Amino acid sequence: MAEDPLERIAREEKEKKNQSLKTAVWVLGALCVALVGILGYLQFRQASVRKLINTDSENPNSGSFYALVEELNDEKQDLIKQMEDLQKDYESLSSDYDNINSQLDTSRAEVAQLIEKIKATDATNRSKMRQYEKELGTLRSIMRNYIVQIDSLNTLNHQLTADVAAARKEAAESKKANEELTQQVESLTGQVAAGSVIKARGITINAYNSTDKVTDRSSRVVRLMTSLSLVENDLAPKGPIRVYIRVKDPEGIILTNSVRTSFTFNGETMVASASREVDYEGAEVDLSIYLNEIESYVKGIYTVEVYTEQSFLGSAELMLR
């Protein structure tokens, strides 16, 4: 009986799928076998190494055991040397800051403790040795951070020191300039003060008799007159000003009458023979001051001194015979 074409096509497609599935199964099986073989080989290698170590341990005369131990000890000594070098590097670090110094002390103590741990640990303890190597790397990284931090702070400190020095120099220069300016102001103030003092010229003293004529005979004198001019000075204070005279007889005694007058000059109270007030507006002023009511005059030289309360204006002499 002839096979139906549709059934034949379906059968052939089914056979192809089954064939592909079988191929995939074979490939996966081959991969599994390969993986098992690799794992077995690795386990064999590991067991062989362990056996070699155990065999060498049980057999002290084994050369391979001593070679391995010697190699591990060399690695341990190299690690110790690296730690001691790092310890020296830590000792060489210094700082002007208490906070960093405290941190440095802590790190130095950690390095010293780690060196002691390495020395006390058997070289064949590989897990511990690997741990110590990691700690060595960490301590090195911390030290580099310290170096960067100290350098940054030192740079900042140097800059601040330079800024402070510049500020001090500027302050000193400003102080010097202020002192010079103060001296100039004081000098100008002194000059203005000196320039503002009222001065006098043409000071004279004359004696008059009863007929109001000038005389030089002591027996005929009834009064004395002092004449002067206050010179022009725009800087002098304006307004009323009182001028005082002090007339001394030949023995140096101040002549006074019933109108006793006094004034203060340079903080000292002084007796005056007479005085007169004038209105001074900066222009030249002529004035005369009379001294009356003196009982008698003697022969000799009479001296008159002229003052204001601010200054000594000058003096003059009169000879009576």
> What is the tens place of the pLDDT at every residue in 208-253?
999 999 999 999 999 999 999 999 888 888 899 999 999 999 999 9
The total of other beta-carbon atoms located within 10 Å of residue 91's CB is 11
Give residue-wise pLDDT tens across range 256-306: 998 888 999 999 999 999 999 999 998 999 999 999 999 999 999 999 999
Residues β-bridged to residue 261:
272
Q: Which is it for the CA torsion 61, 62, 63, 67, positive or negative?
A: negative
Q: Is 276 strand, coil or helix? A: strand
Kindly state the DSSP code that residue 294 receives in the 8-state scheme: -
pLDDT in tens, 75-118: 888 888 888 888 888 888 877 777 878 888 888 888 888 888 88
Using an 8 Å Cβ cutoff, are 301 and 253 in contact?
no
Measured from the Cβ of residue 162, the count of other Cβ atoms closer than 10 Å reads 10
Split at pLDDT 50, 70, 90, the class of 36 is low
Q: Is the pTM of this model over 0.85?
A: no
For residue 101, give the nearest of 38, 33, 150 by alpha carbon. Answer: 150
Whether residue 58 has pLDDT greater than 70: no
**What mean pLDDT value characterizes the chain?**
81
